[in-house]
Chains A and B, each alone.
Chain A
């Protein structure tokens, strides 16, 4: 009860689907993050490589110029250098010539570079430059290039990456939440129905959709279990009514008889006691039959297996039942074929076969012909009596079912159930069919 109550009140974030979502979104975030980081590294390397190559070519150009041009022309070249290509500063003996008004201290020699900030008068006051020194025959020249656009690029890239990651996380979590909710909706429905069943509404069934997904499979299986359970419950209910009838009737006879005993004369007494004993024996027999039926059905009874001849059993059967048939002016016929050995419990199997023949004799009516036919692994018990209605064919094997509603004929109503249970334990098949008129019981080993 407690478990069910807590399942019913479960929030989507408590569900296993949500846990899976969390793990899934963490994984996706990690993968996307790794990818973005990789891209970032690649981009950075590419940019640095380009800057280095650019500075290297500028270095070569100025070294070449220093060798080929005179001091003055070199100064002009430095002064008129295009600031978009490179910022160049030359320190001659007197002052600084070029785009910048200073050369920072401890600048490395190219191809080593260093980043350094400069202040300008423009709107973006602070700029980041990357550069290094070149030693020419006219003195050191600083060659630098602006790399702060690169910084902006990196900054944008990082912003975009973070946004992308956030979006991924939010989206996966939102989808996961909806997803768990959808699953939970079905589970909560199942739970609600289970509680109805628990309350005793055994006709409740779980919905099965056309999708045939795992939930539908579960629901289908569950419904199957419910079908069996409901059938068993109905059977038990029916059996209880029948037990009440089958045991209460002889028991109430007993009670009446016992009450009347003191009034009996000593001549009547032995007869009266004998009648009561018979009633009691009938109760005990019904009771025993129920117990052994349960034991055989549930496989608790160990079979005493041995090799048996079907033919011999049929012959014994005939010998035992012939006189019984004679009593009802019935003809009992036996025909046997090839002798086949089966492995089984002699007493139980014979009991099953005997029950079937006994039933035929009891119900086929006076003057009927009953045949025991053995051919190979099949035994048939045929009669030309009234037979049984088609729709009762499966019902007769149920416990305590008797087609005679008045239960007039003395019997336990367990005979055929016992027959079936015994044959099932022996992996034999029993089928009923129409003999036109009459009944054919076929047993296949």
Chain B
């Protein structure tokens, strides 16, 4: 996948570029708004990661100009402006997702991949499976090593999100947004509590270690043996 990063902060550039290259993506950078717009309109990218405050051309103006050319390239806005209304402004201007600095690369990766996959026409899946864990999306039936798990609706949604990103660290914010339709940092253990309940059900079947806690980052669903 080909990604364009429009960002002027060198540290952030190095951090993001290193991360995406390790994940096998092709990433190019532009360090100011004009260059960014030029690249974004002349080349074909699968995703543009856009900083809001850029020299020469503001991120939101760049985005508006890009959208005015009819480009449908997904755009993920990165910004140090964390307020809810800034987020709304960014999404209104044509952004597809919004992330606040500072951020964890793992979260950026999940969001970026989600946006890039959106463009691909995938067959609508009716079944997810990770190792010995199988989820039937239509019947909402989940089996672990052949035994059925009884899950509450929120637990089902949590697990679904984890299963969509196997072996990836998924941050609490991502899980929170996926399960509840609210955007705010709950600053509390609400996700941990729900994960703990889910994990207890796994433990009953002897697979408690499938959901792994990554300190300082989030959770990871491991593919069973």
Contact = CB atoms under 8 A, between A and B. Distances in A.
Contacts of A321: 190
B214 A274 contact: yes
Given A274-B214, A277-B217, A304 B84 contact: yes
Contact of A327 (B85, B88, B193, B214): B193
Interface string B111-147: 0000000000000000000000000000000000000
A358 B217 contact: no
A416 B84 CA distance: 18
B176 to A, nearest CB: 9
Nearest to A327: B193
Contacts of A281: 216
B85 A302 contact: yes
A49 interface: no
A304 B183 CA distance: 12
Given A291-B83, A347-B84, A350-B184, A324 B189 contact: yes
Contacts of A288: 82, 185
B70 interface: no
Given A284-B102, A285-B185, A346-B182, A278 B190 contact: no
Nearest to B172: A281
Contacts of A354: 184, 186
Interface string B84-95: 110010000000
Contacts of B102: 284
Contacts of A301: 83-85
Interface of B: 82-85, 88, 102, 104, 154, 180, 182-190, 193-194, 196-197, 214-217
Interface of A: 271, 273-278, 281, 284-285, 288-289, 291-292, 295, 301-302, 304, 316, 319-321, 323-324, 326-327, 345-348, 350-351, 354, 358, 411-412, 415
- Give me the 9 closest cross-chain CB pairs, A-B, nearest first: A274-B216, A274-B215, A277-B216, A323-B193, A351-B184, A324-B193, A278-B216, A302-B85, A358-B188
22 contacts: A277-B216, A278-B215, A281-B216, A285-B185, A288-B185, A291-B82, A292-B84, A304-B84, A316-B182, A320-B190, A321-B190, A323-B194, A324-B188, A324-B189, A324-B193, A326-B193, A327-B193, A348-B84, A348-B184, A351-B182, A358-B186, A358-B188
